[in-house]
Amino acid sequence: MTALPDLSEMQIRRYARHIVLAEIGGIGQARLVAAKVLVVGAGGLGAPLLQYLAAAGIGTLGVIDHDTVDLSNLQRQVIHRTSDVGMSKVESARRALREINPEVTVIPHGERLTEANAPRIVAGYDLVADGSDNFATRYLLNDICYALKKTLVAAAILRFDGQISTYKAHQGAGHPCLRCLFPVAPSEDAVPSCAQAGVLGALAGTLGALQATEVVKEILGIGRSLSGRLVMYDALAASFDEMAIAKRPDCPTCGSSPGGSA
C-alpha cells in the first residue's frame, strides 16, 4: 500500500471541517489528497462534481470532455463563466479548479472518450465519476471500469428528474453493473437529450453534489455504498425513491452464465 502523505499546516487549516469528522479525520483526508479521480464530462453534472471534489482536496482530478463552452451551457454548468464561451471546457474547468484549490493537480483530457483511448485514460485513476450525457459513453465506461476493476459512480439528469448509483461489479456477488440494470441501451429516439427536452439547471447541482458525496465515501470506505441501489430524485415532487438492482447471471458484462463474460 502506498504511504499516505503528511498534511501540511495549510492543509490542516483548509480541510479542518473534514478532519474533525470522526469518519474522516487526518488519515481520511490524507487518503483524499492521495486519490486520483477521473470525471467524465465537464458539463451539468461535472461542473458541481468537480468543484466539490477539488474543494474536498482530491489530489488528482482528471477531466475529459471534447466540447467547448456554449452560452446555453451557463444555465447549469456553473464551473464556466460568460467570458469562457468558446473556450475548451476542460481548460475552463482547470482554470476554475485552480482558483478553488491550487493544491489539486488537474489533468485535462480534451478529447472524446472512445473504445480506443478509454483503457489508457481510465487506467490512470483510482475511481471514475460519470457525468456524460449519452448511453454510448455510459456503457463504454461501465465495461471499461469492470475490466480494469475501477469503481464507477454514475448519475444522469433530464427535465426535473435525476438518478444515481455506484457500480463495482468487479467486487463480485451483490455488486451489479449498469448492464444488469439496463442490459440493452434504448434507442436514441426513445430518450431525448437535454437540448431536446430541457433540464432544470439546479437539478445538475443536486445530482452532482450527490455524486461528489458518493465518490468521497468510496475513497474512504465509509457509510453505505450505493452499489446495488438506484436512487431517483424528482425535483417537482421534492422526493427521493430507491430501487434495488440485482446482479444478473446473464449480464453481458459481469454475468457468470453463458450469456455473460465473467
Rounded to whole angstroms, how far apart are CA atoms 180 and 74? 34
What one-character DSSP code corresponds to residue 223? Answer: S
Residue 221 confidence (pLDDT): 98
Residue 194 confidence (pLDDT): 76
Residues serving a catalytic function are 194
pLDDT tens over the chain, length 262 residues: 568 999 999 999 999 999 999 999 999 999 999 999 999 999 999 999 999 999 999 999 999 999 999 999 999 999 999 999 999 999 999 999 999 999 999 999 999 999 999 999 999 999 999 999 899 999 999 999 999 999 999 999 999 999 999 999 999 999 999 999 999 887 766 677 777 789 999 999 999 999 999 999 999 999 999 999 999 999 999 999 999 999 999 999 999 864 444 4
Location of C-alpha cell 455506484: 166
Q: Positive or negative, the Cα torsion across 67, 70, 73, 74?
A: positive
Residue 189 confidence (pLDDT): 67
Residue 261 confidence (pLDDT): 43
Domain coordinates of the chain in residue numbers? 9-175+198-225
Rounded to whole angstroms, how far apart are CA atoms 176 and 94? 33
Residue 43 confidence (pLDDT): 96
Residues 6+ apart with CB under 8 A from 179: 139, 142, 143, 248, 251, 252, 253, 254
In the beta sheet, which residues pair with residue 165?
154
What is the CATH number assigned to the segment(s) 9-175+198-225? 3.40.50.720
φ and ψ of 221, to 5 deg: 65, 40
Long-range contacts of 131-135 (CB under 8 A, 24+ apart): 131/39, 131/40, 131/41, 131/42, 131/43, 131/44, 131/45, 131/46, 131/49, 131/155, 131/208, 131/211, 132/40, 132/41, 133/41, 133/43, 133/44, 133/193, 133/194, 134/193, 135/185, 135/186, 135/188, 135/191
Long-range contacts of 97-100 (CB under 8 A, 24+ apart): 97/50, 97/51, 97/54, 97/61, 100/51, 100/54, 100/55
Determine the number of helices (DSSP H) and then strands (DSSP E) in the chain. 10, 8
Rounded to whole angstroms, how far apart are CA atoms 216 and 90? 22
